[in-house]
Amino acid sequence: MKKIIFNTLLLVLLATAVQAQDKFFTKTGKISFFSSTPMEDIQAHNKTTTSVIDTKTGKMEFAVLMKAFQFEKALMEEHFNENYVESGKFPKASFSGAIVNIGDVDFKKDGTYKVTVKGNLTLHGVTKPVEAPGTIVVKNGVVNAASTFNVAPEDYKIAIPNLVREKIAKQIKVTVDMNYEPLKS
Amino acid sequence: MKKLKFALLLLCLLAYSSSYAQDDLLSLLGEEEETTEYAKASFKTTRVINGHSLENVAGGVMDMKISHRFGMLNSGAYNLFGLDQASIRIGLDYGINDRLMVGFGRSSHNKVYDGFAKLKLLRQSSGKRTMPISLVVLSGVYLKTIEWQQPERDNYFSSRLEYTHQLIVGRKFSEGTTIQFMPTVVHRNLVPTTEDTHDVILIGAAARQKLTKRVAINAEYYYALPDQLSPDRKNSLAIGFDIETGGHVFQLHFTNSTSMIEPGFMTETIGDWGKGDIHFGFNVSRVFTIRKPKKLEG
């Protein structure tokens, strides 16, 4: 009788441990954005993105602290936080979605896989559905995910005054570059 | 026995559901590490109006400031309410790093060359490290190069020099509201009358309130402690607006002071608000990034 209880408990523990290995995470993911106009090029980098990916279901989540975006010019950084994304009110941007073709990716085998990610992007307090192409590279148990897509500030109620309209692109190019490690629990 | 089986089954189910029905993947990473967040942009620029604010220019950034004070409003329509006259200061400020800035300038009023250093001792922050206030120390030296009023007497070079030492203590209370206090001492090597003391102690107070994202209203007052200045001297009061456009900040204001440097507006103000001795004036600030921050490399 005791054996049964012990075995069951072991099984339960094992089950949870195995399941947890299906997940990968990072706290140092890179997100950059780039706005290009004939008047001015603006770029910013963030190296502290957190993200978790569930290789079984294909689910992925991202969270990024807006104040951690670093700009070339101090004043741009101040205006970005104060006037545009209002980091005081909306400190984080997040994405919650899934890899649509998760079946095509074998996280146990080295290789490069083309994927499509679909989900909801929340920025400046506004949530919108987005879809983006991406690449997943598996090598020696490490997973890298990369994607490039466009975001229109207008869609997220980020107001740009006429005075600087010419300096900020209507479509901002966002680049995501994540190096995931296995999540051990 | 049945009870036990049931309990085991329940346990299995629970374990199963807790590891699978995890909707919020990010919560698996546990509590986030707290970071220290510094209060930024407590004022739009490094000056409230005449005097300094809590803010420094960022490291590697140069700020060119051109300031005007027109004549007094009560000088009438003949002088277009003061617009016919102007006192000017042209200055350059530079951030050596995020905490230390230096600047120099030249004022037309009394033909003064000035230089200063401004250091942030404490920075208001929240999160991992909490600091309720910001504390800034400012020291300036001022050289009057206007010709001597009495060239026939013995005039010394040292008589042309004045000094200011100031502490600025303040807090950004909310996104829009900042209040600061500025205990100040001005030292004058040469004083105009025997009633004047060489060291003048003043207490300043200033506030800013944002009206919109890009427009703020500022007020600034310097109170000189009694029995230090000749009786015709008034305390400096200024009220104005900051308007921010991209890389420029325009400050438009009304003040009873002609001078735009510390010993000037703190000890030489003779304008009386009540009588309409008010100057309209503006400061234009334009910043240039001279040295790019290292953090972006790689």
Q: A60 CA to chain B: closest CA distance, Å?
A: 7
Residue-wise pLDDT tens digits, A131-151: 999 999 999 888 999 999 999
Give B162's Cβ-side CA count (13 Å radius): 27
Rounded percentage of chain B residues whose pLDDT exceeds 70:
91
Residue-wise pLDDT tens digits, B263-273: 999 999 999 99
In whole angstroms, give the CA distance from residue B238 to residue B256.
7
Per-residue pLDDT, averaged over B201-206, amounts to: 97
Helix, strand or coil for residue A159? coil
Task: Name the average pLDDT for chain A.
Answer: 88
Per-residue pLDDT, averaged over B53-67, amounts to: 95
The pLDDT, as a whole number, for residue B19 is 47
Per-residue pLDDT, averaged over A56-85, amounts to: 92
Q: What is the DSSP string of B253-290?
A: EEES-S--SHHHHHH-----GGGT--EEEEEEEEEEE-
Of A12, A20, A19, A68, residue with least CA distance to A44? A68
Whether pLDDT at B90 is above 70: yes
In whole angstroms, give the CA distance from residue A19 to residue B163.
70
CA angle A45–A48–A53, rounded 5-degree value: 115
- Nearest by CB to residue A50, choosing from B4, B29, B58, is B29
**Are the Cβ atoms of B28 and A185 closer than 8 angstroms?**
yes
**Best interface-test mutation with B: which of A75, A79, A164, A184 has the largest number of B CBs within 10 A?**
A75
Q: B207 CA to chain A: closest CA distance, Å?
A: 19
Per-residue pLDDT, averaged over A58-67, amounts to: 93
Whether pLDDT at B23 is above 80: no
Quote ipTM for the complex. 0.77
Between these two residues, A72 and B295, which has the higher pLDDT value?
A72
Instruction: Please state the domain extents for chain A.
Output: 22-182
Q: How many CB pairs under 8 A join A and B?
A: 88
In whole angstroms, give the CA distance from residue B181 to residue A25.
48
Confidence band (pLDDT; 50, 70, 90) for A43?
A: very high
Q: E strand or H helix at B3, and its extent?
A: helix B2-20
| Chain B contact residues (CB < 8 Å to A) | 4, 8, 11-12, 15-16, 18-20, 24-26, 28-29, 32, 35, 37, 40-41, 57-61, 175, 213-214, 245-247, 287, 289, 292-293, 295-296
Instruction: Please state the domain extents for chain B.
Output: 36-296
Q: B141 CA to chain A: closest CA distance, Å?
A: 28
For residues B271 and B236, the answer to whether their CB atoms sit within 8 Å is: no
The pLDDT, as a whole number, for residue A88 is 87
| Chain A contact residues (CB < 8 Å to B) | 1, 4-5, 8-9, 11-12, 15-16, 19-20, 23, 25, 27, 45, 50-54, 59-61, 63, 65, 67, 70-75, 78-79, 81-83, 88-89, 161, 163-164, 167, 183, 185
Per-residue pLDDT, averaged over B54-59, amounts to: 94
The pLDDT, as a whole number, for residue B7 is 66
Domain B36-296 CATH superfamily: monomeric porin ompg (2.40.160.40)
Confidence band (pLDDT; 50, 70, 90) for B34?
A: confident
- B11 → chain A, closest CA residue: A12
The pLDDT, as a whole number, for residue B9 is 63
In whole angstroms, give the CA distance from residue A141 to residue A182.
8
Residue-wise pLDDT tens digits, B121-165: 999 999 899 999 999 999 999 999 999 988 888 889 999 999 999
**Are the Cβ atoms of B15 and A60 closer than 8 angstroms?**
no
Per-residue pLDDT, averaged over B274-287, amounts to: 94
In whole angstroms, give the CA distance from residue A107 to residue A56.
9
Identify residue B157 by its one-letter amino acid code.
Answer: F
Rounded percentage of chain B residues whose pLDDT exceeds 90:
73
Between these two residues, B1 and B139, which has the higher pLDDT value?
B139
**Are the Cβ atoms of B61 and A52 closer than 8 angstroms?**
no
Q: In angstroms, what CA-CA distances link B4 with A9, A183, B8?
A: 13, 33, 6
- Nearest by CB to residue A16, choosing from B19, B41, B60, is B19
Place of tokens 């010993």: B263
Whether pLDDT at B107 is above 70: yes
In whole angstroms, give the CA distance from residue B293 to residue B283.
27
Confidence band (pLDDT; 50, 70, 90) for A1?
A: low
In angstroms, the first-to-last Cα distance of chain B is 64
**Are the Cβ atoms of B15 and A16 closer than 8 angstroms?**
yes
Q: B49 pairs with which residues across the strands?
A: none
Of A119-128, B3-12, B201-210, minimum mean pLDDT range: B3-12
- Nearest by CB to residue B12, choosing from A8, A70, A88, is A8
**Are the Cβ atoms of B24 and A8 closer than 8 angstroms?**
no
Q: B160 CA to chain A: closest CA distance, Å?
A: 37
Residues sharing a CB contact under 8 Å with residue A112, sequence separation 6 or more, in sequence order: A135, A136, A137
CB atoms within 10 A of CB A4: 11
Confidence band (pLDDT; 50, 70, 90) for A154?
A: very high
CB atoms within 10 A of CB B131: 15
> The domain at A22-182 falls in which architecture?
Beta Barrel (2.40)
The pLDDT, as a whole number, for residue B20 is 47
For residues B161 and B189, the answer to whether their CB atoms sit within 8 Å is: yes
Identify residue B168 by its one-letter amino acid code.
Answer: I
Residue-wise pLDDT tens digits, A172-185: 999 999 999 988 76
Identify residue A134 by its one-letter amino acid code.
Answer: G
Rounded percentage of chain A residues whose pLDDT exceeds 70:
88
Residues on chain B touching A82 (C-beta within 8 angstroms): 40-41, 213
The pLDDT, as a whole number, for residue A2 is 67
- A5 → chain B, closest CA residue: B8
**Best interface-test mutation with A: which of B4, B5, B27, B28 has the largest number of A CBs within 10 A?**
B28
- Nearest by CB to residue A59, choosing from B18, B25, B59, is B25
Three-state helix/strand/coil letters over B139-163: EEEEEECCCCCCCCCCCCHHHHEEE
Highest mean pLDDT, choosing among A54-63, B46-55, B150-159: B46-55
| Region of residue A90 (phi > 0: left; psi between -120 and 50: alpha; otherwise: beta) | beta
CA angle B178–B168–B96, rounded 5-degree value: 100
Phi/psi at A74 (nearest 5 deg)?
-60, -35
- Enumerate the H helices of A1-158 as residue ranges: 2-20, 74-79
